[in-house]
């Protein structure tokens, strides 16, 4: 277990030092470049805020009205059978459709059940290991004006499902 902890804790510092080392070796002005990148980051975050606000409003309303719990209870027989914690259902359903919406839901879940709880970890793992499938397929096909996408949606959704089920199992094992 300590190897795993070391890997988790050490991965980020190791990557940072490798990158900076390479920058120095190739005589780059690393700090100036860092500032450039950070500036771009500001634009990303500012651009994200309005979407996040809108999604938080909608998800907050859904949760506070009580309808989210109602729907979760409705589907729980199926998820109990598959041993999926039903608190993550809204996330699983929205994850392939909208990146910012699923991020809003993920934060909502982690705030409610605790970020370091099993549900919080499963939520984090799902967010880290899946993509906004519909959006990705849409932009990649639209740029070359392709309409017939054959089996791509099916294969991508299968991958998402596998990622989600693995997230649930692996978090339970490593809890």
Residues numbered 26-85 forming contacts with another protein, rule: CB under 8 A: 26, 28, 30, 33-42, 44-45, 48-49, 52-67, 70
Interface residues for another protein in 134-163 (CB under 8 A)?
Answer: 134, 136-137, 139-141, 143-152, 154-156, 158-163
Of 29 and 78, nearer to another protein (C-beta) is 29
Of 78 and 174, nearer to another protein (C-beta) is 174
> Among 97, 89, 42, 27, which Cα is nearest to 63's?
89
Interface residues for another protein in 101-130 (CB under 8 A)?
Answer: 101, 103, 106-107, 110-111, 115-116, 120-121, 124-130
Of 78 and 162, nearer to another protein (C-beta) is 162
Part in contact with another protein (CB under 8 A); list of ranges 72-80, 81-89, 164-172: 164-172
- Residue 124's SS3 state is helix
Within 8 A by CB and 6+ apart from 96, the residues are 130, 131, 132, 133, 134, 156, 157, 160
Instruction: Give dist(CA 115, CA 50) in Å, integer.
Output: 24
Burial of residue 34 (CB within 10 Å: 0-12, 13-18, 19+) is middle
């Amino acid at each position: 277990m300590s190897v795993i902890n070391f890997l988790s804790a050490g991965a980020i510092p190791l990557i940072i030092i490798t990158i900076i080392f390479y920058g120095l070796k190739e005589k780059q002005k690393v700090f100036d470049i860092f500032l450039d990148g950070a500036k771009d980051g500001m634009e990303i975050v500012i651009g994200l805020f309005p979407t996040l606000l809108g999604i938080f409003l909608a998800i907050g309303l859904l949760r506070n009205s009580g309808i989210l719990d109602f729907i979760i209870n409705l589907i729980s027989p199926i998820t109990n059978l598959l041993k999926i914690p039903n608190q993550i259902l809204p996330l699983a359903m929205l994850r392939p459709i909208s990146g910012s919406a699923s991020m809003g839901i993920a934060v909502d879940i982690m705030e409610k059940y605790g970020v370091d709880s099993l549900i919080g970890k499963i939520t984090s793992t799902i967010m880290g290991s899946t993509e906004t499938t519909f959006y990705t397929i849409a932009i990649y096909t639209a740029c070359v004006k392709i309409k017939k996408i054959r089996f791509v949606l099916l294969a991508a959704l299968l991958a998402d499902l596998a990622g989600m089920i693995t997230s649930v199992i692996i978090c339970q094992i490593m809890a």
